[in-house]
Amino acid sequence: MNKDKRESRADNLIKDNLRRAFDDKASEELPTELIALLAQLRDQDDQNGTK
């Protein structure tokens, strides 16, 4: 395997794993604390009449 092909394959392996790790975390359910915070901020805006 020549050097260019080796480098290209290494790059692809790294990109695949990087994206898989990122996408997997990004698709997790949001923690309840974060959902509660978003709801609280939304409620505050509603009470203050903020749009």
Determine, following the binding rule CB under 8 A, whether residue 23 of this chain makes contact with another protein.
yes
Phi-psi region of 49 (alpha: psi -120 to 50; beta: other; left: phi over 0): left
- Provide the phi-psi class of 11: left if phi over 0, else alpha when psi is between -120 and 50, else beta: alpha
Asked if 26 is part of the footprint of another protein (rule: CB under 8 A), the reply reads yes
- If binding is defined by CB under 8 A, does position 4 make contact with another protein? no
**How many angstroms separate the CA atoms of 43 and 36, rounded?**
10
CB nearer another protein, residue 24 or residue 49: 24
Interacting residues with another protein (CB under 8 A): 1, 6-7, 9-11, 13-28, 30-31, 33-34, 37-38, 41-42, 45, 51
